[in-house]
Amino acid sequence: MKAIRVHQFGGPEVLKLEEVPTPKPDAGQLLVHVRAAGVNPYDTYMRAGTYAIKPQLPYTPGSDAAGTVEAIGTGVTKVKPGDRVYTARTLTGAYAEYTLALEEQVHPLPENISFEQGAGVWVPYCTAYQALHHFAKARASETVLVHGASGGVGTASVQMARAMGLTVFGTAGTDKGLDLAKREGARQAFNHAKPGYQEEIMKASGGRGVDVILEMLANVNLGGDLKMLALHGRVVVIGSRGDVTITPRDLMSRRASVRAFTLWAAQPAEMAEIHAALFAGMENGTLRPVVGKKLHLAEAARAHKEVLEPGAAGKIVLIP
Ligand code: NAP
């Protein structure tokens, strides 16, 4: 089979398309025929060798694949060959024609969700769910600012928060991203590249501030976020690429808090809850992963460059 292989940590150019043996499922494992693989920013940090998790070299990147079950190992009962699935991590990497996964790493993909959309489920939607439900503990009637609403996690968060009954504000850096945020459920969208947009958000909140902020770039925004919070407001840090200075008194006067998490630490019980909720949301049309760009598997290096560039519009997916 064809797969992207990384033999040394480095820039996007270390992603090489190679011919490798197709893996065979052992007991408790299954082989997925990958129809699309999602590209996440963390894939690039891992490839660069700067991430908390360093895979053993050589490796195939990617945790988010969607496709059909090709073969199952002994003892696998959850799925059968031919079933449509998405993965939440794999054993051998998603950027490939086939990927090996543990039975608990695959989840059913509803018929109304395409494989390309299915490649944008695990990381974006589990993150959105954890942020809104487990960390912000957001409630209907509250106001949420999705700070970075045009990307994978942002579009997922906007759809989910809207369905939960929150008033959603979103930010993006381009007109295309602003339109996307509004189309997916944001009541108003603001350009985070435009000086003074925080005042516009305060105005839109009637001057009281927002109850929840989901933050995709904390190193740039956290200090300003604290000034946009309502009393008892919560910032959930989802993404950050450096250090930041904050004024703790902004938190004190608002009795506010900052929480943060990584998806990696989610426990099995939380994951079971999340996947059940995601299946229901996809099946009933509430959750609709947005595919912004489809590239061939061979263009993985281009995908890794573009996923970090401004101008996000949903997910970038690789098609083997
Ligand atoms: P993505 O699809 O590449 O989207 C990136 C988003 O960040 C876009 O909406 C982009 O908007 C926005 N952005 C750029 N500059 C910004 C600014 N100054 N202020 C606010 N937003 C800005 O990435 P993603 O998959 O949504 O992930 C977003 C971040 O969360 C990444 O840093 C990722 O590593 C992290 N993440 C963390 C976890 C976790 O477990 N904690 C899980 C998933 C993702 P424009 O392009 O329109 O400017």
Q: Which atom of ligand 1 is nearest to the CA of 154?
A: 26
Q: Using CA atoms, how far apart are residues 149 and 8, in angstroms rounded to an integer?
A: 33
Integer CA distances (angstroms), 54 to 42, 74, 257, 265, in order: 11, 30, 31, 16
pLDDT of residue 292: 98
Percent of the chain with pLDDT over 90: 99
CA of 238 to the centre of ligand 1 (A): 8
Angle, in degrees to the nearest 10, between helices 122-129 and 268-283: 110
CA of 73 to the centre of ligand 1 (A): 37
> 206: which 2 tokens?
């009637």
Q: Which atom of ligand 1 is nearest to the CA of 153?
A: 26
> 252: which 2 tokens?
């004190």
CA proximity to 191, closest of 176, 206, 210:
176
> 237: which 2 tokens?
């840090």
The three-state secondary structure class of 137 is coil
Cβ-based neighbour number of residue 68 at 10 Å: 17
Q: Using CA atoms, how far apart are residues 104 and 102, in angstroms rounded to an integer?
A: 5
CA proximity to 111, closest of 135, 137, 132, 82:
82
Exposed / middle / buried, residue 285 (Cβ in 10 Å: 0-12, 13-18, 19+): exposed
The three-state secondary structure class of 262 is coil
Per the DSSP assignment, residues forming a β-bridge with 101 are 30
Residue identified by tokens 């839109």 is 204
**What type of residue sits at position 172?**
A
CA of 146 to the centre of ligand 1 (A): 10
Q: Whose CA is nearest to atom 12 of ligand 1?
A: 148
In this prediction, residues 256-278 reach a mean pLDDT of 95
CA of 259 to the centre of ligand 1 (A): 17
CA of 155 to the centre of ligand 1 (A): 10
In this prediction, residues 9-20 reach a mean pLDDT of 98
Residues with CB under 6 A from ligand 1: 40-42, 123-124, 127, 147-154, 171-174, 177, 192, 216-217, 220-221, 238-239, 261-263, 307, 310-312
Give the pTM: 0.98
Q: Which atom of ligand 1 is nearest to the CA of 127?
A: 42
Task: Give the pLDDT confidence of 67-101 residue by residue, as tens digits.
Answer: 999 999 999 999 999 999 999 999 999 999 999 99
Query: Per-residue DSSP letters for 54-65?
Result: -PPSSB---S-E
Residue identified by tokens 């991590």 is 89
CA of 22 to the centre of ligand 1 (A): 33
Q: Establish whether the linkage from the previous residue to 58 is cis, with ω within 30° of 0.
A: yes
Task: Give the pLDDT confidence of 282-302 residue by residue, as tens digits.
Answer: 999 999 999 999 999 999 999
**What type of residue sits at position 200?**
E
